[in-house]
Amino acid sequence: EQLRRQVMIRDWELGLTRRFLGTRDLRGRLELLLKSLVSNPQTGFAAIFRLVENRAQLERSLGLEPQTSRKLQLSESLVNDTLKLGSLVISYAELARSRGVAGLSTLERSRIVYLYCLRLGTAQNPWGLLISSELPAIHPGEATSLAGWEHLTSILGEELASQDSADRQ
């Protein structure tokens, strides 16, 4: 059963990577990543933050109310911990006690069982961060599936940095 689940996760990751690399522009890649994460924007959300001068600025989101998109902020400690560790999983109770994420509405907070925070890029060259109320193929308490997401977001973040650099040039 566990082997079958791992094969399913790998197939899903390979499919996403193929679609991601097949999209040429940065905006299209970000949209694809968000749509791959959130199966239903009425029940979940995801947001991509770009690092600009070591600060996380919201780049794109899916499933958030418009007013939330304007005021959503991540604390400096949440950003630094995610960049250092590669990923964080924050339970609803921990999120309620901390000030790591500011600007979520009551409705959006109610959608969270766990908030997944992932670094986009490598520790040496981070492009940004991804937060999501859900991650496909994640089974709570199973470190191997989260490790797969860390590997995937590392690769995708490096691609985003390359695409961003090419666009600027």
Side-chain-side CA neighbours of residue 47 (13 Å): 23
Do 51 and 126 touch, CB atoms closer than 8 A?
yes
Q: What is the mean pLDDT of residues 83-89?
A: 91
Tokens encoding 169: 């040039």
Band the pLDDT of 164: cuts 50, 70, 90: confident
The amino acid at residue 45 is F
Say yes or no to pLDDT of 74 above 90: yes
Local structure of 69: helix, strand or coil: helix
Q: What is the mean pLDDT of residues 66-73?
A: 92
CA distances to 20, 21, 103, 152 from 155, rounded to whole Å, are 11, 10, 29, 5
Q: What is the mean pLDDT of residues 102-124?
A: 90
Say yes or no to pLDDT of 143 above 60: no
Q: What is the mean pLDDT of residues 120-144?
A: 79
Torsion on CA atoms 12, 133, 35, 43, rounded to nearest 10: 120
The amino acid at residue 8 is M
Q: Residue 132: its pLDDT value, please? A: 92
Q: What is the mean pLDDT of residues 86-115?
A: 89
CA 168 – CA 71 distance, rounded (Å)? 27
Say yes or no to pLDDT of 137 above 70: no
Say yes or no to pLDDT of 95 above 60: yes
Is the sign of the CA dihedral 142, 151, 46, 84 positive or negative?
positive
Band the pLDDT of 111: cuts 50, 70, 90: confident
Which residues are bridge partners to 61 per DSSP? 47
Q: Residue 51: its pLDDT value, please? A: 93
* Global confidence as pTM: 0.82
Side-chain-side CA neighbours of residue 140 (13 Å): 7
